């Protein structure tokens, strides 16, 4: 279980407290505040704070002191215009702070998005829990033969069982040695900052991750994509649900122009115009490489 009874009780106590405020409040986000949403076998995401809403994006775009236009429809039109034309700074007026529990190897992918403020659980000071990510059988897959960063066919039967047993036994053995090295019952052991290096990359860590909406959208565009690694994509999918309630107009624009849209190169636009004019265009006559042509065909098919 990602949360203990004590942790759930603490969250319920936080949600029971209300404080009057003059700042802008997103009713959709208030329903998510402090709640923990399970991800993978031991992980979760939860919102611990946020700033701004759809109106804050419009206010920043107009640099006004009021709510801007009188119509919600006009505000949504402005947000769509900003998203469509890549005007990013108004989206930076909204921020979110998440508490995330995730495997270390996922964290190492996640931290490549360097446009956030991060504070991670320190295994120099504290002892890590015996919690490791063990994939569900359906997510055990062989190496892809066409993509060095991807997965191929799912493992089945005895091969899947063998891999799962290796993952579980290696994780447990590493943690047994970790406990042995740091010492128990008052024994003098190895420093925690050294003992932690023996733990595998599937051990769970936690952090607070604060990011503005523009950079969050960039993260979600890459990590909620179908081609992203499953283990980070499921975190992005959970965050998408929260963001859709927090800034619904901005999320609809993001979903339309970024998640559901496509960027075409000058050559691709030229090919599209020629096709619309009735010309038969092939990869050889397109001026594109085989990879570019394959991606272009995927966009228009």
Residues forming the active site: 223
DSSP secondary structure, 3-53, as one string: S-HHHHHHHHHHHH------S---HHHHTTTT-EEEETTTEEEEEEEEE--
Closest to 154 (Cα-Cα) out of 172, 132, 139: 139
Closest to 44 (Cα-Cα) out of 164, 264, 216, 204: 204
The C-alpha atoms of residue 130 and residue 206 are separated, in whole angstroms, by 13
Give the list of residues 6+ apart from residue 2 with CB closer than 8 angstroms, or none.
Answer: 36, 38, 39, 42, 43, 44, 101
Closest to 266 (Cα-Cα) out of 250, 281, 286: 286
CA distances from 267 to 1, 159, 252, 263, 301 (A): 51, 46, 29, 12, 17
- Please state the separation of Cα 269 from the chain's center in Å: 31
Token pair 């009188």: residue: 70
Phi, psi (deg, nearest 5) at residue 8? -65, -40
């Amino acid at each position: 279980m990602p949360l203990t009874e004590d942790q759930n009780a603490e969250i319920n106590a936080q949600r029971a407290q209300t404080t009057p405020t003059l700042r802008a409040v997103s009713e959709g986000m208030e329903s998510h505040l402090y709640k923990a949403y399970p991800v993978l076998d031991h992980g979760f995401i939860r919102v611990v704070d946020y700033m701004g809403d759809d109106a804050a994006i419009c206010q920043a775009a107009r640099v006004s002191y009021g709510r801007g236009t009188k119509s919600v429809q006009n505000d949504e039109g402005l947000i769509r215009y900003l998203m469509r034309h890549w005007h990013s700074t108004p989206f930076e007026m909204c921020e979110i702070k998440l508490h995330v529990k995730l495997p270390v190897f996922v964290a190492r992918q996640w931290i490549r998005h360097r446009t956030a403020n991060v504070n991670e659980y320190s295994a120099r000071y504290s002892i890590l829990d015996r919690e490791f990510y063990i994939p569900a059988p359906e997510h055990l897959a062989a190496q892809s033969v066409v993509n060095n960063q991807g997965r191929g066919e799912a493992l089945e039967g005895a091969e899947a069982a063998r891999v799962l047993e290796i993952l579980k036994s290696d994780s447990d053995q590493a943690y047994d040695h970790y406990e042995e090295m740091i010492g128990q019952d008052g024994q003098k052991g190895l420093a925690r900052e050294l003992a932690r290096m023996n733990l595998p990359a599937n051990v769970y860590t936690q952090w607070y991750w604060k990011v503005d909406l523009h950079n969050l959208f960039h993260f979600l565009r890459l990590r909620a994509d179908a081609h992203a690694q499953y283990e980070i994509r499921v975190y992005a999918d959970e965050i998408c649900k929260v963001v859709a309630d927090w800034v619904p107009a901005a999320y609809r624009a993001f979903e339309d122009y970024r998640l559901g849209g496509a960027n075409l190169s000058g050559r691709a636009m030229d090919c599209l115009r020629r096709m619309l004019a009735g010309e038969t265009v092939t990869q050889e006559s397109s001026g594109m490489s085989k990879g570019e042509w394959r991606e272009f065909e995927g966009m228009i098919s």
